[in-house]
């Protein structure tokens, strides 16, 4: 795995470090990311199934290359713009678009196939299948179809026992399309924090998808792909019999929500927001920083967990958490850092100009507020690479 040679070289010689990079900025610890990727890759390989990373979290071809150093592999995306980006920039061709298809987007899905992508789209109604079939009529290559399965009442999809399942499969074939398989997501696993309950959620996710696939096969449909996935269940699954692939996204960076669920340690979290102290209010126990919700996002995913991390956990420049210090409130470009409610610690002396790093509640949401990752590696404070992020739909 090599950096983009010249650019990286230049940065190492004369580029910014964590002291000189303008704040706020998104920082990615590449070693932590590599460790997270290696950990889940080994787990999934141990089950003998395929890891199809969900790149909605990273939205970066450079990050994707750390997962697939030997060339493009199978990926999941949440928008057609992501599919177009990863196909164009990285030569990715095995792409599953895991959000229910808006019929108006069917021509764009077909165009991706024309461009050489083996695209799988997700749907749950005969109307979507008919719209896609219509858009793909006469096309030499057509998107294949994943039927969305609802395993835990969390979002969309058909329950495995819904009679509509076979009807939708019939509509797919009638529309001249290939049924690739079934796809489910254990979104309810995000509300758990107990290893046994997470293992049960993974078991239920597996059973739901496998059962839906069996129903389709019993009705005469091939159903080669059985796709499951969420970062929590991917890490806690004990058995993936009947499953062919696992999707997960946030696993590569992790975040405070994943820490609260029990999937990772705080020092596995690979993304943070660099910020600078711009004011203090000792009488109120406040330290004002230049990372507000524009830099951190409005995500408050830990607010329902056992430990509420506010808008993020505050670390020193080396990435070590400063005890109970969190971003307690956020305005657009102001963060108010304070000790967690109930803390007996003393407010550290952090005068104007001091730089800090904030670990995010939700890596996907915080990443989306930024246009690039400033990559650090090892214990150096040097920025060794800048990885652009894509956005839009």
Q: Footprint of its own copies on this chain (CB under 8 A)?
A: 20, 22-25, 56, 78-79, 99-105, 108, 124-125, 127-128, 131, 148, 150, 153, 155-157, 187, 276, 278-279, 281, 284, 288, 290, 293-295, 297-300, 331-334, 336, 351-353, 362, 364-365, 368-369, 371, 391-393
CA distance 128 to 112: 18
Burial of 240 from C-beta contacts in 10 A (0-12 / 13-18 / 19+): buried
CA distance 60 to 33: 13
CB of 212 to its own copies, least distance (A): 16
CA distance 191 to 233: 12
Given the complex with its own copies, which of 205 and 299 has the nearer CB atom? 299
Burial of 139 from C-beta contacts in 10 A (0-12 / 13-18 / 19+): middle
CB of 355 to its own copies, least distance (A): 8
CB of 190 to its own copies, least distance (A): 10
CB of 98 to its own copies, least distance (A): 9
Residue 121: both structure tokens together? 């789209």
Given the complex with its own copies, which of 266 and 372 has the nearer CB atom? 372
Of 263, 234, 216, 248, the closest CA to residue 74 belongs to 248
| CB-CB neighbours of 52 under 10 Å | 24
CA distance 222 to 173: 11
Given the complex with its own copies, which of 334 and 340 has the nearer CB atom? 334
What are the residues whose beta carbons fall under 8 Å from the beta carbon of 352, sequence distance 6 or more? Answer: 277, 278, 279, 280
Given the complex with its own copies, which of 102 and 239 has the nearer CB atom? 102
Given the complex with its own copies, which of 43 and 101 has the nearer CB atom? 101
- In the three-class reduction of DSSP (H, G, I as helix; E, B as strand; rest coil), residue 111 is classed as helix
Given the complex with its own copies, which of 41 and 79 has the nearer CB atom? 79
Given the complex with its own copies, which of 170 and 334 has the nearer CB atom? 334
CB of 372 to its own copies, least distance (A): 9
CA distance 169 to 177: 10
CA distance 364 to 82: 14
CB of 337 to its own copies, least distance (A): 12
CB of 136 to its own copies, least distance (A): 17
């Amino acid at each position: 795995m090599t950096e983009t040679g010249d650019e990286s070289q230049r940065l190492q010689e004369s580029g910014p470090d964590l002291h000189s990079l303008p704040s706020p900025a998104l920082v990615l610890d590449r070693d932590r990311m590599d460790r997270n990727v290696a950990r889940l890759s080994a787990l999934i390989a141990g089950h003998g199934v395929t890891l199809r990373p969900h790149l909605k979290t990273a939205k970066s071809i450079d990050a994707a290359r750390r997962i697939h150093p030997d060339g493009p592999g199978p990926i999941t995306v949440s928008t057609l713009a992501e599919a177009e980006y990863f196909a164009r920039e990285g030569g990715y061709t095995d792409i599953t678009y895991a959000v229910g298809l808006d019929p108006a987007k069917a021509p764009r899905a077909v165009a991706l196939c024309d461009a050489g992508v083996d695209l799988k789209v997700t749907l749950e109604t005969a109307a979507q299948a008919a719209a896609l079939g219509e858009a793909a009529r006469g096309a030499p290559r057509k998107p294949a179809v994943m039927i969305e399965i609802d395993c835990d009442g969390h979002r969309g999809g058909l329950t495995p026992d819904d009679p509509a399942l076979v009807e939708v499969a019939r509509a797919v074939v009638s529309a001249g399309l290939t049924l690739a398989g079934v796809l489910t997501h254990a979104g309810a696993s995000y509300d758990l924090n107990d290893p046994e309950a997470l293992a049960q959620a993974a078991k239920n996710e597996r059973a739901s998808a496998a059962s839906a696939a069996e129903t389709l096969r019993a009705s005469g449909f091939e159903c080669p792909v059985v796709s499951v996935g969420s970062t929590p269940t991917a890490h806690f699954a004990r058995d993936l019999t009947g499953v062919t692939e696992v999707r997960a996204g946030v696993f590569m960076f992790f975040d405070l929500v994943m820490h609260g669920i029990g999937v990772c340690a705080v020092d596995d979290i690979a993304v943070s927001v660099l910020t600078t102290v711009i004011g203090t209010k000792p009488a109120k126990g406040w330290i004002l920083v230049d990372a507000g919700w524009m830099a951190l996002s409005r995500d408050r995913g830990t607010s329902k967990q056992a430990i509420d991390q506010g808008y993020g956990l505050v670390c020193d420049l080396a990435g070590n958490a400063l005890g109970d210090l969190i971003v307690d409130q956020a305005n657009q470009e102001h963060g108010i850092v304070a000790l967690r409610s109930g803390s007996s610690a003393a407010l550290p002396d952090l005068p104007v100009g001091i730089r800090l790093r904030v670990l995010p509640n939700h890596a996907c949401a915080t990443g989306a507020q930024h246009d690039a990752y400033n990559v650090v590696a090892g214990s150096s404070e040097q920025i060794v690479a800048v990885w652009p992020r894509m956005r839009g739909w």
